[in-house]
Chains A and B, each alone.
Chain A
Amino acid sequence: MSALTVAETVVDPELPMLTLADLGVLRSVDESAEGVVVTLTPTYLGCPALETMRADLVRALASAGYADVEVRTALHPAWSSDWISPAGKAKLAEAGIAPPGPAPRGPIPLTLTAPASNVACPRCASTRTEILSEFGSTACKALVRCRDCGEPFERVKEI
């Protein structure tokens, strides 16, 4: 198996239904005579999963026979939720996590009212949903509730 194929099978430690490739944090895998160089990008600067991702990549590549692996971190360009692949978005929805819509662009608005929820409930598909909190169980998720079926669910934030 190529190093790229192996790296693409590694899953996110906090969203294990997604591979790092699905999440868009796996930026490149370069294989050469000297070894393999994998470039990762963090979703958020404080994302505690980054070190785990790095260790998981090294472990997966080692067990596939790639002994010399270097994992680099690239900050630029900043990760955007737009980089989650269509397959990744489908897997999120399947797991009950609302996938993000298009990320906002341009100047940063100050939002003084509760943000409108534009997502459909992953359980009953109702669009009568409300954002409970812009901060969820991980840095990249917000907490939403469906006003029809009453279930709370998570949504990957659009950044």
Chain B
Amino acid sequence: MPFDNAYEALADAHDDARWAYGTGFADPLASVPADVPDGVSRPELARLCVALGDDALVMSHRLQQWCTNAPELEDEVALANIGLDLLGQARWLYTRAGAVDGTGRSEDDFAFLRSESEFLNVRLVELPNGDFAELVARLLVFSTWRLAVLTRLVSYVDPVVAAIAAKGVKEVTYHRDYAARWCVRLGDGTAYSRERMRAGLDTVWPFVWELFDRAEPDLRVEFDEVLGRVLSAATLAVPTVADRADVLGKVGRDGVHTEAMGYLIADLQSVARANPGAVW
């Protein structure tokens, strides 16, 4: 690099090819046809993409907040990698949503210019970060569920969603293994680590039912089977805490969120909103 130090490199405004991320993203689906197979409802397809994209973006945001806080360097790298994988999934899904819903919105529009009630993510992913065991519990639940969902979408009627799912399956497999191994290590560890892991599961469990709201029953069967194996290896019981209620019949998928979501959106969007059109 033609720079004396890293700060000079950061200040250089003439070589945007090196900047893969930041605002002003390039369209990752550039030149991919935007047509939709016959018989597919564009609004429904777009809604599916937004919902799955929002789950990924918000979970990625919570993982990014772990940066510099992980217990070990390897976990620091692992959490950043998982967050990056999910951010990538969100970008492709948003781009597909904007291409098929007729609005032509970009991935930036979806991430930075929607209000809280337009986000369709499940409430599980938006919860404030707790300790590392809570993160492990959340990631275990999230990745087990998402892997089951993506596996089914590999044969989905829309070829772009099917292709995103096929790639996502490979990525989320690693996420699930990572969380599952940590769950076993903490649960079947010392009395202290075991208690923290149990408490972490109790924190996220009230939001598990929502993942399967309006879903095919076999999804829950698969989820329970995998969680049962992990918890059994971790010598932990399935939590028995009460479900977190919906709000007048509405949940995250309807745009109804917990208090944490407003703060999360502010954190996520403030720079983009304060500097419209800014790129770096």
Bound: A38/B78 CA distance, A: 32
User: A54–B26 contact, CB under 8 A?
Assistant: yes
**In this complex, what residue of B is CB-closest to A70?**
B31
Residue pair A52, B20 in contact (C-beta under 8 Å): yes
Q: Which residues of A contact B236 (CB under 8 A)?
A: none
For A133, what are the chain B residues with a Cβ–Cβ distance below 8 Å?
74-75, 77-78
The yes or no answer to A73 lying at the interface (CB within 8 A) is: yes
A78 smallest CB distance to B (angstroms): 5
User: Within 8 Å of chain A (Cβ to Cβ): is B226?
Assistant: yes
Given contacts A52-B17, A135-B77, A139-B84, contact A111 B164 (CB under 8 A): no
Residues from chain A with Cβ under 8 Å of B17 in the complex = 51-52, 55-56, 59
Considering only CB atoms and an 8 Å cut-off, how many residues of chain A contact the other chain? 41
Interface of A is mostly: loop
How far apart are A106's CB and chain B's nearest CB, in angstroms? 12
Q: What residues on A are CB-neighbors of B132 within 8 Å?
A: none
Are A73's CB and B88's CB within 8 A?
Answer: no
* Contact B78–A134 (Cβ < 8 Å): yes
Contacts of A112 in B (CB 8 A): 177, 180-181, 184, 229-230, 233
Question: Chain A's nearest CB lies how many Å from the CB of B95?
Answer: 10
Q: Looking across the interface, which residue of chain B has its beta carbon closest to that of A48? A: B20
Contact A46 B176 (CB under 8 A): no
A17 within 8 A of B: no
Do A46 and B20 form a contact, CB below 8 Å, given A75-B164, A112-B184? no
Whether A135 touches B147, Cβ cut-off 8 Å, given contacts A46-B84, A71-B30, is no
Complex Cα distance, B79 from A135, in Å, reads: 9
- Considering the complex, which residues of chain B in the window 144-183 have a beta carbon less than 8 Å from any beta carbon of chain A? 147, 151, 159-160, 162-164, 166-171, 173-174, 176-178, 180-181
Contact of A134 among B88, B177, B233 (CB under 8 A): B177
**A50 close to B (CB within 8 Å):** yes
* Residue-wise interface mask of B (61-96) relative to A, using a CB-CB cutoff of 8 A (1 in contact, 0 not): 000000000000011011011101111110110000
Verify A110–B180 contact, CB threshold 8 A: yes
Q: Does A83 contact B (CB under 8 A)?
A: no
Contacts of A111 in B (CB 8 A): 177, 180-181
Q: Please state if B31 and A73 are interface contacts (CB–CB under 8 Å).
A: yes
Tell me if A46 and B32 are in contact (CB < 8 A).
Answer: no
**B7 contacts A by Cβ under 8 Å:** no
Assuming the A-B contacts A54-B26, A76-B162, are A46 and B88 also in contact, with contact meaning beta carbons closer than 8 angstroms in the complex? Answer: yes
Residues of A within 8 A of B32 (CB): 72-75
Which one of B30, B80, B85 lies within 8 Å of A72 (CB-CB)?
B30
Query: Which listed residue (A70, A76, A108) contacts B173, Cβ 8 A?
Result: A108
Q: Is the CB of B151 within 8 A of A46?
A: no
Cβ of A143: which chain B residues have Cβ within 8 Å of it?
74, 77
B28 within 8 Å of A by Cβ?
Answer: yes
Judging by beta carbons under 8 Å apart, are A45 and B85 in contact? yes
A-binding residues in B (CB < 8 A):
17-18, 20-21, 26, 28-32, 74-75, 77-78, 80-82, 84-89, 91-92, 147, 151, 159-160, 162-164, 166-171, 173-174, 176-178, 180-181, 184, 226, 229-230, 233
> What are 21 A-B contacts with C-beta separation under 8 Å?
A44-B171, A45-B88, A46-B85, A46-B86, A46-B171, A48-B84, A51-B28, A72-B32, A73-B28, A73-B30, A108-B173, A110-B177, A110-B180, A112-B177, A112-B233, A133-B75, A134-B174, A135-B78, A135-B80, A136-B77, A159-B170
Q: Considering the complex of A and B, which 3 residue pairs feature the smallest CB-CB distances, nearest first?
A: A46-B88, A45-B88, A75-B163
